Structure 1
């Protein structure tokens, strides 16, 4: 698979900048020749550009509600009383999510497996881990995955003062923006511990709160087979699966993904990422 074919936020931003800069250029260079060629004539009035059929892999890579980079959500982020536990059901669609990373021992293997099957996932990163492994966060974004906010140091937010909660969230959004070019649109509280202050601060920072439907409990190291069985037993339209790519020995998580991901695809599930404005 070639990464250049994947629709990613960073490439969309870069492509937009390039197209604006090229708007005033009357001719283009032919790659490798140095010669100029006249720009292609516009299509005839009323003519529609020809469409090509999507490959199955391209369908997998589409967000739940369309193809291309997520759009900016309209209006303010709602202040919720509880986090979202699943995503809208669009056929046999599921979301894979990974918390606590990135970790250079495990995250690259998870990314490799996702790339092999052309599947996008959500990574809720801790700011201190992201700051130490910027290349992995950049790779997540480059390969079309959603980079979410999981606080800076993974504390129990419900025991912290409001100022500290804001700092944990804001610092992480700042580092993600420096690496990826935009701030995270999704937030997941460590340990799944939300309260009103957490919901309100997340909304003020423009982030939607997403929990999970199926917890693999991979952090307990229950064994690769057990993790696979938990995902298979919990598979259903709209399900969000929680796993971890850091915070301990995640070799079982890596091996389990290699088994259950092709199994889900063979069963007709589409593994992709949600879009904010349709949640």
Structure 2
């Protein structure tokens, strides 16, 4: 089924990671562009209605995540129960934060054809971004999730196979989310704290199950529509015209030819930084 056909049927309805702390010779400071004005879910952040559809579904063979033995926990102090995640009724589309801070997000990956180039550009400008990964892609390219962790990027859950959640049973939705959490934890070093519904199609079960798995729903403010391949300059213009404090930008690093997305990032990222924006990753207040 084509993207536009799926869209027409949609209902109207930090980070502790596997990256090692550098102890010898003093910890290397995270760049100012990546840390200034970290965004959080605060009183000023208001959920809004579901956003337009995101990219096309990933089309790869589904593989079960590897079974892992759990360590013994008979020693040491008892663990405290994690804070219970509030069940939202709408995703967050804009983040509260300090100063001129924005979040760049990339969906559907990781893809070895495009994700490394995006990571290279972010590293060049010492910027942190957020990647909403599909479990079947992450399972095949765990090295890219490890790199994201090492370089300070946030990784969110974008389901296992990028289905339309509104057509799935509750059990299927849980499986899509839970399997992706497992592979992210294996490759990234921590379970995701954020999830995003494919196509921006949220329903009650998705919100409830996401909360049960300890995740908050995050949508977007500015949709680059890069999956339609509108041209590099068009993508750049949409980001620069939509730039504002608290904005969450949606782009893609997989699911099709993302050459334009890679080129656009190289263009608009330095312009945003020169305009005084801090590109950062969201942080939950209770996390």
Q: 1:170 to 1:110 in 2, by over 3 A?
A: same
Q: Which runs of 5+ in 2 are unaligned?
A: 1-14, 40-79
**Contact residue 18 and residue 146 of structure 2 kept, 8 A:** no
Distance in 1 between residues matched to 2:187 and 2:97, nearest whole Å: 31
Distance in 2 between residues matched to 1:131 and 1:222, nearest whole Å: 30
Instruction: Identify which of structures 1 and 2 has the higher relative contact order when contacts are C-alpha pairs closer than 8 Å and 6+ apart.
Output: 2
Given the alignment, which residue of 179, 203, 213 partners 2:187? 179
**Contact residue 73 and residue 276 of structure 1 kept, 8 A:** no
Q: 1:183 to 1:272 in 2, by over 3 A?
A: same
| SS of match in other structure, 1:243 | strand
Residue of structure 1 in register with 2:261 after alignment: 253
Q: How does 1:9-48 map to 2 (within 5 A)?
A: 9-11=17-19, 14-15=20-21
1:159 aligned onto 2:167: yes
| SS of match in other structure, 1:61 | helix
Q: Which runs of 5+ in 1 are unaligned?
A: 1-6, 20-29, 32-53, 67-71
**Contact residue 8 and residue 141 of structure 1 kept, 8 A:** no
Show CA shifts across 1:214-242 (max 9, x none): 00000000000000000000000000000
Q: 1:142 to 1:129 in 2, by over 3 A?
A: same
Show CA shifts across 1:37-92 (max 9, x none): xxxxxxxxxxxxxxxxx98x7222216449xxxxx997211101100001103110
**Contact residue 8 and residue 143 of structure 1 kept, 8 A:** no
Deviation larger for 166-175 or 176-185: 176-185
Residue of structure 2 in register with 1:269 after alignment: 277
| SS of match in other structure, 1:241 | strand
Distance in 1 between residues matched to 2:221 and 2:114, nearest whole Å: 23
Residue of structure 2 in register with 1:109 after alignment: 117
Higher helix share: 1
| SS of match in other structure, 2:113 | coil
Distance in 2 between residues matched to 1:264 and 1:15, nearest whole Å: 29
Distance in 2 between residues matched to 1:138 and 1:77, nearest whole Å: 26
1:225 aligned onto 2:198: no
Runs in 1 of length 4+ with deviation above 3 angstroms?
63-66
Distance in 1 between residues matched to 2:212 and 2:16, nearest whole Å: 25
| SS of match in other structure, 1:96 | strand
1:168 aligned onto 2:176: yes
- Structure number with greater Rg is 1
- Matched residue pairs, number? 231
Distance in 2 between residues matched to 1:155 and 1:277, nearest whole Å: 30
Q: How does 1:50-129 map to 2 (within 5 A)?
A: 58-62=31-35, 64-65=37-38, 75-129=83-137
1:242 aligned onto 2:250: yes
Distance in 2 between residues matched to 1:278 and 1:237, nearest whole Å: 22
- Give the TM-score of the pair, scaled to structure 2: 0.76
Q: How far 1:9 sits from its partner (Å)? A: 2.5
